Structures are given as structure tokens and as C-alpha cells.
Amino acid sequence: MMRTRPLKVALLGCGVVGSEVARIMTTHAEDLAARVGAPVELAGVAVRRPSKVREGIDPSLITTDATALVKRGDIDVVVEVIGGIEPARSLITTAFEHGASVVSANKALLAQDGAALHAAAEEHGRDLYYEAAVAGAIPLIRPLRESLAGDKINRVMGIVNGTTNFILDKMDTTGAGYQEALDEATALGYAEADPTADVEGFDAAAKAAILAGIAFHSRVRLDDVYREGMTEVTAADFASAKQMGCTIKLLAICERAADGESVTARVHPAMIPLSHPLASVRGAYNAVFVEADAAGQLMFYGPGAGGSPTASAVLGDLVAVCRNKLAESTGPGESAYAQLPVSPMGDVVTRYHISLDVADKPGVLAQVATVFAEHGVSIDTVRQQGKDGEASLVVVTHRASDASLSGTVEALRNLDTVRGVASIMRVEGE
């Protein structure tokens, strides 16, 4: 039997995502009520610019006092889509203190202060849900912390930023340079006027921290994630990748160490074989590849950003939290019992693709090979091209640690026959 008294929702932020959340709540009100078991009512919308016309939203719901809204006491759920650290953090904790559960899409805040927010939610007996914080409409957080809760996850690797995937895909398929591809992404609305958070990997790193924490039942903060942007990726890198039967993606990789005693989390460009499922992810789409003991290999794929896809994830969380409210229960909270430490990037073992500019004369390859051997880095393949006294040498290694590869590169730079290191890129997915 449906309850007649509505569950009241406060919406913090009414931009691209917030306005779509409000629209769906209004147009699908009857369906949401049937799915929840009670009417779900938009009770207030906090914004910075109250004079802006917001079609479909009752002007009487608009307020600039977000703190007063979450303190009302009759609010059941607060939906936070304003982003950033403050005032979002204070508003969320205040919501818990005044009896409301929270649905958030705030990846930066959750990556930085997720543990404290979970603790506050638990202290007050409230829910904290954030499916929309990682991969837009793609169901990912709930499968990791519920569907796979009985399994052991060993690796989570994926494309979690649509802007960077669009740029790299454009470079791959058309031969465009980085700046040309970025300009097209900006013109189409995929890239912000300041794309730094995307192209330098900050956005993906925050998502990696959240995913690693959930997958490995350990606390992983943004500062624990190694981050490397993609602004130095060139058309020449794609040409080399194609010669290896690979393409290049900006990947977020979270994995358990072989001995199971630690984890790593990193974001960086990488070559992946064209046979890997992630290689076929095109345009602004996201995809995450999960490897677990019992389930094996799973891939989650779909639109990872935009108003409608992100609002879909927010509404899914809203329905779940409202159901919990009616049942007088809460859903899964933080699971950090494993307390696995996060290893430094130097301990990460993977393959490498190194492109060197060298002198075109006898003995160069032998010198380079000796340096690799002295640092314990085994060479898989070598490709050399030379002309007019200059040459390029492309070395692909077997698996080696980041620390040993760094020592190798430093020694190579000291060789008289090595003019420079053109590029270094990791090779993943094999």
C-alpha cells in the first residue's frame, strides 16, 4: 500500500545535471512514486543565481540559502550536484545532522573526504549514495559494493573521462594532433573552456580513488593516486601504437598486488591491444573493465557524462535512498575493513614502450641493450630506423617496475649516442 505523505527532496544546484534531475522528478512523478512506495516531492532548490529562468521549476522553490534548506528538518533526502569541496562538504554534513540522507555526484569531495562523510552518515543513521560520481549513467558503484560483495576483485581498469576519450579517439581515427582534437572537443561541448581537470587526469584520478576504495575495501584518497595527463601524446605515439596492433587510451587502473598485501591506483595514458574490449570504446563514451576471482572479467559501458546520463544515476540513487527511508533502514556504507596500504608508483609492474632519438652508427643498439640489462629490464622487441646520421630506436620491454624503468631511462640519457627520449608509454591490457 502506498504511503500518502510525500518524501521531501532538497536539490542543491540546478545546472546541467540539477535541472535534469528536477525535470525527471516532475515529469515522472507518478512512476517514481510507484517505484518508491510514496510520492517524492521536490521541496526546495538551492541556487546561486535566483533570477535565472528555470523552466518547469516552481519559482517559489528557489532559494539562495542552501544551509537553511538542509536545516529545515522536514527534508528526507538532499541531492547535492553543486560540486567542489566547500560549501558541499558542510552542506552534506549539516544534512546528516538534521535527519536527511544524501545523494551526491561530487567525485572530488568523495575522493578527498569520503571516509569522513561516511562516518558522519553512519553516526546519524543516514545514507550516502554517489553512483553518479564515477561514470555517469553506467551502473558501477552499486555492482561493486553490492553485486560483487561476495567476490574478490583484483583489478578495475577503465576509461572514466569522456572528454579525454573523445580527444584520443579523434587523434587515432583521423590523425589529428592533440590541439586540433581538443579544439573540436571544445566546439562540440565535450571539453570545458579550461580542460585541465580532464586532460591532466585530475577528474579520472578522483574517480580512481573512489573505485579503488570500494573494490578493495580500503581507504584510498585522491593523494594516493598516481596521475599523469595526456597532453604530451602525439600523432607519432599513435603511429607507433598501430605498428604494435594497439591504440592509446587514458586509463584509470586500480589493482591488487600479486601478494594481495597492497593495492595501487593510477591514471595515465597507455597503449592497449586492439583486441582488448576497451580499445573499441569510441567518442565520449566510458567503459570500465573489472576482473574478479569468481565472476571473471566484466565490462560496464555507456555514456559517462552529460546532464541526462548523470541525472539517471542520481535518480537511481534517489529511489534506493527513499526506499530505505520508508523501510527505516540504510544501505551499504563504507567498507574499509581490509585496510590495504597503497603502494607507490615505483612498485607498479607493467610493460613499457620507449622511443629514443639516437645517433645512426654501429654499436648504438648494443649500448642501449646493455643499459637495459644493467637495470634488470628485459627487452621484448626493438625497432630501429635511421637516416642522415640520425635514427629512432623503439624499445618495448617485458614487465618491469616503474622504479627500474626510471633508472634505465636516466642512464640512457647519459649515453653520448642517445640524443633524447622522445616518449615513454606504458603498455596495458595484456
| pLDDT tens digits for range 13-30 | 999 999 999 999 999 999
Is 389's pLDDT higher than 70?
Answer: no
- CATH code of 141-303, in short, is 3.30.360.10
The reply, when asked if residue 17 is annotated as ligand binding, is yes
Q: Which of 353, 425, 364, 423 is nearest to 391 (CA)?
A: 364
207 catalytic, yes or no?
A: yes
- Mean pLDDT in the chain? 94
User: Would you tell me how many other CB atoms lie within 10 Å of the CB of residue 106?
Assistant: 27
The domain segmentation of the chain, as residue ranges, is: 7-136+307-327, 141-303, 345-427
Task: Provide the percentage of residues in the chain whose pLDDT is more than 70.
Answer: 99
The answer to whether the CB of 309 falls within 8 A of the CB of 302 is: yes
Interval 254-278 mean pLDDT = 96
Task: Provide the percentage of residues in the chain whose pLDDT is more than 90.
Answer: 89
Using CA atoms, how far apart are residues 355 and 238, in angstroms rounded to an integer?
A: 12
Say what the pLDDT of residue 81 is.
97
Lowest mean pLDDT among 40-44, 96-100, 177-181, 301-305: 301-305
Interval 188-197 mean pLDDT = 91
The domain made up of 7-136+307-327 has a fold known as Rossmann fold (3.40.50)
Question: What's the grid cell of residue 141?
Answer: 558503484
Interval 211-224 mean pLDDT = 97
118/388: higher pLDDT: 118
Each residue's pLDDT tens digit, 49-85:
998 888 889 999 999 999 999 999 999 999 999 999 9
The reply, when asked if residue 136 is annotated as ligand binding, is no
Say what the pLDDT of residue 385 is.
76
The reply, when asked if residue 307 is annotated as ligand binding, is no
Q: What does residue 287 show for φ and ψ, rounded to 5 degrees?
A: -155, 140
Taking CA 113 as the corner, what is the angle to CA 111 and CA 115, rounded to the nearest 5 degrees?
100
Say what the pLDDT of residue 305 is.
74
Question: What's the grid cell of residue 294?
Answer: 569468481
Using CA atoms, how far apart are residues 398 and 389, in angstroms rounded to an integer?
A: 29
Write the DSSP symbol of residue 342: B
The reply, when asked if residue 15 is annotated as ligand binding, is yes
Is 388's pLDDT higher than 70?
Answer: no
Is 255's pLDDT higher than 90?
Answer: yes
User: Would you tell me how many other CB atoms lie within 10 Å of the CB of residue 136?
Assistant: 27
Cβ within 8 Å of residue 336, ≥6 positions away:
115, 213, 217, 218, 219
Using CA atoms, how far apart are residues 100 and 82, in angstroms rounded to an integer?
A: 17
Q: Residue 110: which pLDDT band, with cuts at 50, 70 and 90?
A: very high
Q: What does residue 332 show for φ and ψ, rounded to 5 degrees?
A: -60, 140
Q: Which of 77, 1, 9 is nearest to 37 (CA)?
A: 1
Burial of 407 (0-12, 13-18, 19+ CB in 10 A): middle
Interval 255-263 mean pLDDT = 95
User: Would you tell me how many other CB atoms lie within 10 Å of the CB of residue 63?
Assistant: 15
The reply, when asked if residue 107 is annotated as ligand binding, is yes
Say what the pLDDT of residue 226 is.
98
Question: Is the CATH number 3.30.70.260 carried by domain 345-427?
Answer: yes
The reply, when asked if residue 192 is annotated as ligand binding, is yes
Question: What's the grid cell of residue 380?
Answer: 621484448
Q: Residue 45: which pLDDT band, with cuts at 50, 70 and 90?
A: very high
- Helix, strand, or coil (residue 40): strand
Of 207, 242, 249, 387, the active-site residue reads 207
Say what the pLDDT of residue 189 is.
86
Is 148's pLDDT higher than 80?
Answer: yes
Q: How many CA atoms lie within 13 A of 378 on its CB side?
A: 6
Say what the pLDDT of residue 55 is.
85
